[in-house]
Structure 1
């Protein structure tokens, strides 16, 4: 069985209003106590597999879950155990199912050659669940408000979640309903399940590690719309994982960085694959605008960390005096507030709805070409533009140098999206050839932006003149490094799409 579920986090001040709204229809209240198991070395969790024994009323149910092929989609298999007194988990109960195969792969990957595996209790949950079934756009959706806690050893974590599980119909119905609840009650989307929270609690971690980009997965015979949906799904997996932790209060530099990477990849997909997808519908322009706005706001945090952390330290190490930043930098919204913003949440939900729309519902690409041919033309044009601009990098105006940096990123992301359609080794070699230029352009752009800041700061604190001079002296070095990287790309990069 495949499960599609949206989980919304509830801020404490909104809990009462959410419960009151839920109870306006016919509801059912149950107590759910569950125990979660894994091997001693967390073999199941390492592959995203969850094994649970849950008491529902007087009955016990063993459930195994594993990641599905699209965002917020999971494979699930349930085994009713009746009213046993204290059942023990058995992996064999899921044999012969898609989840059972994932369990077998997880154990094989983590413990090669192991004949049997002992399971241990990792954490437990105790929830009061209020459920209500509603119809939305032809879909049947179960709303479930969970209040309770997770326990792992002597650690406890409170839980306040509203889950929307699709029972019948299209995922777009659940997405539309989730959007309404988010806008009315200030809720936000999270891809961090109770099982992930329990795993982190057991390990003493507040948040998860930053999630890197992943390659899209689609067969070589996929239609244009299927390729575009698979690319969006891969981008969304990275965005949702990092955005969920940032919304929960994570301020780690790498988590915010990977969120920004995911958003840039998503913007590239929306920009370059629209014709392949047959259009994004009425929401396309709004999605692009919201993603651009969130990138700018999160970018301000990244720039400030860079200026006040790494770069200020380098200038002081070169003999520069400390400068007074007090009053020179304005107040920025917290990353959590940026991610929780209703417009961003609405965009994420809309993109999820597109990814889960039944295949074939959208129009085909305008020129009705194959995805391979479509991407080959896009990549060839971008590559040609990058090489042409790169040959004269030192003579380019600063604005065009910055535009080249953006074009190189776009070329890299599009090459990664297209990789499954072409020879993997050649594609990897091309991406490796792009990296030195992207790094050189990134370093140059960072210091050009920093120079403007230090020059502006010198009017407030004359000691900033040292930093402005130091950065100005380094400019030509960076320009030459970029030119060398451009020349190297022209010599070494072999288009893998030919």
Structure 2
């Protein structure tokens, strides 16, 4: 298993890293800079790529090394994946050498055993990297390799220059990867690298877009402690956040912005849910609010330009709505670029590394008493039941006379409903399935109604701002605002029924 943390750096900052204090302070030994020439092979149909694998032969002096890497996980720049490496006698791969290591019933195993695949292999791109490698031996006994890479990735369709930092764990605690990265971040600006060199190479050949990733179900065991459950839930939230980072950065799919924002909301809700027993590190909430707000502006304009104005133009007023939609779409694109810049920023890199380190080393334990540590070791089920009851009770209180509340009060009820939904999803595996299903169905229907009503309130504010941002859209904006107001008024009875249905239910536990 290969465990690497990948970060990007500007070419002009590589020299500063070579003189970084961490290399001077630790027992660091530097090898002679080497030129690594790696040729990646695949079939004309890119069979290995679509299988989630990369196959290369690397030349280091006279030595030739064949490497197969399988698809793994990549979170906050940390790549965990299976790697199979061996010397070869030629410039081309020898797939037979891999047969003893890859199961024959796996997709990749079938590929390497297919003689037609071996016959079709051809070079698809080449990386030429000048690498300075440092062995870092920490007093704690942890051993890492820090590689500073500078070079190009070349294919027939074009080439890309790269400058990168790779930290590979050789022995010891994975926490050290984040510690070293955060220390280097104090020397030069670094950014999370969402793609491996193979990913970048294939991007020169294949037009691919990162798809938006929804949250996976949280699986808890009734024997889990409060701390165990906290780790599982927070890691689940972070997985969703990190899975959508590349989609936000590429800017192709607005849904990635939405799903990353959802992941951040879930994460903040989880930290709040456990706050009394496992307090978050100072500053986390402020930074999470910041990145969420950077994504929020893009999402609000996307919703307005899409579904909201689509409804407004459904009654034959497309000509009047068209300039409004065009103006909103342009603002949405601009805000999507702003969101991408935020995810690419040093500030976000630092936050992602700090969160990963805090979770990995269970940093909350540092300031706890023995009594507090014992408390979070108790079973999670009673804690979950208490949380669900309290969250449900708070929603019932805030939702009194829900359909007749003003926008601000209804917004507070909507937030309470969202927190109930997240808490229920976090602890669903601890509750009777049938009870959870009925509860979530009623809550989802209520949330959907409150959600589009909130979209209407936000849309009204955004449409007002168009008077100065796009005067040519003023007439259409006024029509859209009137249309949304009429829809909200017509929804009064529906919201009353949805709330009445939900009030009859008890919290699942």
Please give the range of the TM-score, normalised by the shorter of the 2 chains: 0.7 to 0.9
Matched, 1:16 2:12: yes
Which residue is equivalent to 1:64? 69
What secondary structure sits across from 1:270 in the alignment?
Answer: helix
Equivalences for residues 349-368 of structure 1 within 5 A: 349-357=353-361, 364=373, 366=375, 368=377
Q: Is the alpha carbon distance of 1:468 and 1:216 closer, same or farther for their aligned partners in structure 2, counting shifts above 3 Å? A: closer
Deviations 1:398-454 (A, max 9, x none): 222112222222222222222344455654554444322222111100101222343
Which residue is equivalent to 1:346? 350
Residues 5 and 166, structure 1, Cα contact 8 Å, conserved in 2: yes
CA distance in 1 between partners of 2:189 and 2:166 (Å): 15
Which residue is equivalent to 2:415? 406
Residues 218 and 233, structure 2, Cα contact 8 Å, conserved in 1: yes
Q: Is the alpha carbon distance of 1:419 and 1:317 closer, same or farther for their aligned partners in structure 2, counting shifts above 3 Å? A: closer
Matched, 1:287 2:284: yes
CA distance in 2 between partners of 1:197 and 1:289 (Å): 33
Q: Is the alpha carbon distance of 1:416 and 1:304 closer, same or farther for their aligned partners in structure 2, counting shifts above 3 Å? A: same
Equivalences for residues 6-405 of structure 1 within 5 A: 6-10=5-9, 14-22=10-18, 27-28=30-31, 29-36=33-40, 48-57=52-61, 58-67=63-72, 72-84=78-90, 86-90=92-96, 92-93=98-99, 95=101, 100=102, 104-106=105-107, 118=117, 120=121, 123-126=124-127, 127-134=129-136, 138=140, 139-151=142-154, 154-205=157-208, 207-216=209-218, 220-247=222-249, 249-275=250-276, 278-280=278-280, 284-312=281-309, 314-315=311-312, 318=315, 319=317, 320=320, 322=323, 334-357=338-361, 364=373, 366=375, 368-390=377-399, 392-405=401-414
Q: Is the alpha carbon distance of 1:204 and 1:470 closer, same or farther for their aligned partners in structure 2, counting shifts above 3 Å? A: closer
CA distance in 2 between partners of 1:435 and 1:150 (Å): 48
Which residue is equivalent to 2:26? none
What secondary structure sits across from 1:203 in the alignment?
Answer: coil
User: CA shift at 1:264, angstroms?
Assistant: 1.1
29-38 or 432-441: bigger deviation: 29-38
Which residues of structure 1 form unaligned runs of 5+?
A: none
Residues 55 and 66, structure 2, Cα contact 8 Å, conserved in 1: no
Which residue is equivalent to 1:468? 481
338-347 or 290-299: bigger deviation: 338-347
Q: Is the alpha carbon distance of 1:199 and 1:163 closer, same or farther for their aligned partners in structure 2, counting shifts above 3 Å? A: same
What secondary structure sits across from 1:129 in the alignment?
Answer: strand
Q: Is the alpha carbon distance of 1:429 and 1:148 closer, same or farther for their aligned partners in structure 2, counting shifts above 3 Å? A: farther
CA distance in 1 between partners of 2:294 and 2:155 (Å): 36
CA distance in 2 between partners of 1:456 and 1:68 (Å): 42
Residues 170 and 357, structure 1, Cα contact 8 Å, conserved in 2: no
Q: Is the alpha carbon distance of 1:245 and 1:23 closer, same or farther for their aligned partners in structure 2, counting shifts above 3 Å? A: farther
CA distance in 1 between partners of 2:85 and 2:311 (Å): 60
Q: Is the alpha carbon distance of 1:432 and 1:213 closer, same or farther for their aligned partners in structure 2, counting shifts above 3 Å? A: same
21-30 or 238-247: bigger deviation: 21-30
Q: Is the alpha carbon distance of 1:136 and 1:298 closer, same or farther for their aligned partners in structure 2, counting shifts above 3 Å? A: farther
| TM-score, length basis structure 1 | 0.80
CA distance in 2 between partners of 1:51 and 1:219 (Å): 39
CA RMSD of aligned residues (A): 3.9
User: CA shift at 1:245, angstroms?
Assistant: 4.1
Residues 175 and 353, structure 1, Cα contact 8 Å, conserved in 2: yes
CA distance in 1 between partners of 2:359 and 2:305 (Å): 40
What secondary structure sits across from 2:354 in the alignment?
Answer: helix
Which residues of structure 2 form unaligned runs of 5+?
A: 24-28
| TM-score, length basis structure 2 | 0.79
Q: Is the alpha carbon distance of 1:346 and 1:261 closer, same or farther for their aligned partners in structure 2, counting shifts above 3 Å? A: same
CA distance in 1 between partners of 2:237 and 2:105 (Å): 28
CA distance in 1 between partners of 2:408 and 2:255 (Å): 28
Aligned partner of 1:451 among 453, 456, 460: 460
